[in-house]
Amino acid sequence: QKEVEQNSGPLSVPEGAIASLNCTYSDRGSQSFFWYRQYSGKSPELIMSIYSNGDKEDGRFTAQLNKASQYVSLLIRDSQPSDSATYLCAVPEINFGNEKLTFGTGTRLTIIP
Amino acid sequence: EPEVTQTPSHQVTQMGQEVILRCVPISNHLYFYWYRQILGQKVEFLVSFYNNEISEKSEIFDDQFSVERPDGSNFTLKIRSTKLEDSAMYFCATTGGRNSPLHFGNGTRLTVT
């Protein structure tokens, strides 16, 4: 059974600071990793995907992947109140492309003005 | 930006009734999925659909559930004889390729009373 683990939080970060969200996964063969943002009562919204070891930056967001440690993280720089949401880590099952995602429980992030 | 459209946004039904949840995929997308999220829990994969047939389903997706794309446009999830525990947000997701990220619709909140 594939596992995706996240600290459920809540994680509180002052506005303007860096928020760091972490995710570990159990399947060593996993190749693709996604971060989704979910506002309360809304659908998951893709914010980052990462496939290779190292860092990937997109605006204020940076995804970091370490396959040896089976660890993927998301950094949010210059945090804004609008970043307050639950952040979901998702990992596809091997041999299913990206269609059968296993989601973590999500980390609830609150940005404090 | 193209969107995945789901209707209705909220469906209330009595236990034992049948419901049909509808999804209009992004026009050039070929792979369709249903996920669900019970309140406060993880987003869970239900079923994937490609080329007019189910390609993968989870253990949740039992004989109570069915999917179809009757008119080449709408992608539907039918739940027969609903149970209280079927109450959840149901998300349709689509993608243009198996290795492309999923795009989620806004979801249908199903409440079974």
Q: Is A99 on the interface with B (CB under 8 A)?
A: yes
Phi-psi bin for B107: left (phi > 0), alpha (psi -120 to 50), beta? Answer: left
Contact between B104 and A45 using a beta-carbon 8 Å cutoff: yes
Q: Is A106 on the interface with B (CB under 8 A)?
A: yes
Tell me the residue type at B13.
Answer: T
Q: Could you say which of B48, B106, B107 has the minimum Cβ distance to residue A99? A: B48
Chain-centroid distance, C-alpha A3: 14
Phi, psi torsion values for B99, nearest 5 degrees: -105, 15
CA distance A88 to A102: 10
Identify the closest residue of chain A to B91 by CA–CA distance: A43
User: By three-state DSSP, how is residue A79 classified?
Assistant: coil
Tens-place pLDDT, residues A63-108: 999 999 999 999 999 999 999 999 999 998 866 666 688 999 999 9
pLDDT, tens digit (0-9, with 9 covering 90-100), for B47-98: 999 888 998 899 999 999 999 998 778 999 999 999 999 999 999 999 888 7
The verdict on a CB contact (< 8 Å) between B45 and A100 is yes
Q: Which residues pair with B54 in a beta bridge?
A: B49
Contact list in B for residue A102 (CB cut-off 8 A) is 45
Q: Which residue type does A99 have?
A: E
